[in-house]
Structure 1
């Protein structure tokens, strides 16, 4: 809380940020961009991680050290444009093997206008859902694809099933996190119900919810049990 208060009072970053522990100690906190942060452990103190990128900055009681150079700085005019719109008829569907078409059909029948699919691999569901995807498209439902892997990009051109789904109207969302995609879709559909405009707005980044590339240090998940990892950990954990 002290780090967050310091960043809000003295920092020059004008964005929605999450300030949480860097290490498990209180030495410093990370400032994570709101569109790229996720809680990755139920109880670990330094559980919040920037996914597919680096945090924006670190913060201590003495100051802020920027990690990223591209951020939105404070302006002197303090003029803010707020678009407080949200369509609650959007949902998120986590795909699992052998999912039946009736699951997707039921969402459409209940009047949902936008659906975020959290797909496997590069962004896939099984062929059993094809008829339901076609019915959703024909009824004007906007359907988008994100990933269960969390890290990485949706690549629906690689395999036949991905290309089939795009032909059925499913739109890949790059490396947008599933929860972020749900929030953005609700916000977008609160402003327009035109499908072409919904697609355009979803694919137009507001603040790095989709990035052009993943930096070399944007995916760091250490795996225990291997000698090089044990040697690295021993330097910090005696």
Structure 2
């Protein structure tokens, strides 16, 4: 445990607490008031990060702190509940959305400026009602993590959950996933789920779902359309351009994230995407060598 975690544990400080910190720098006492931020993962852990009232963050060396006082404790986060969103409609295909977290299932905490994996698949589905006109949606929460925390052992759990859904009669599965490691997860499941006869679609977003510039809604709509297509592979569905024109369907073993923030960050490497999908439901297949149902 790093020095900052030990300090916070000793003082009973939690992320989001509003605190007053007194530090002594060059013989001068300096007072800071603000919200405690998560410690930076790649730092040595020698500083306490506080978001000041003016919006700026300040890092205070633990060794220079002479006094700390908790003014207001952070409010506890709501428990994640999970259930079927709406009753099934006769005649529509059945699609399961598996939530794993990531930006597509996150929102900004405007108080601290941090992004949290906070939306469940249920909340995400409710935020994009158009998908209920395409399929009967069953949401399932598997993880609620950012994609940098994804591990190979989680791939096994994802594969088992996907297989369980498909074997129970679902027509397709969508996996909401963080974008940083989505290409790795898509490749892993491409090899783990053998002889697929139904689509398994990974989807993410470059900008959190509660931002006006978010790409989450269109990506989810396009992925739902692909999940009911005559298609039987693992694929990634993301924006094809920076504007909301169409999404591209990338083969799970050929896709890579090529930019940190662009909405069209995902590209098929040394290959052609499988298809284009428009918001209105049009699908243009760009190649013929794909597995069908």
TM-score bin, normalised by smaller chain? 0.3 to 0.5
TM-score (norm 2): 0.28
Structure showing greater relative contact order (alpha-carbon pairs closer than 8 Å, 6 or more residues apart): 1
**Larger helix proportion, structure 1 or 2?**
1
Larger radius of gyration: 2
TM-score (norm 1): 0.32
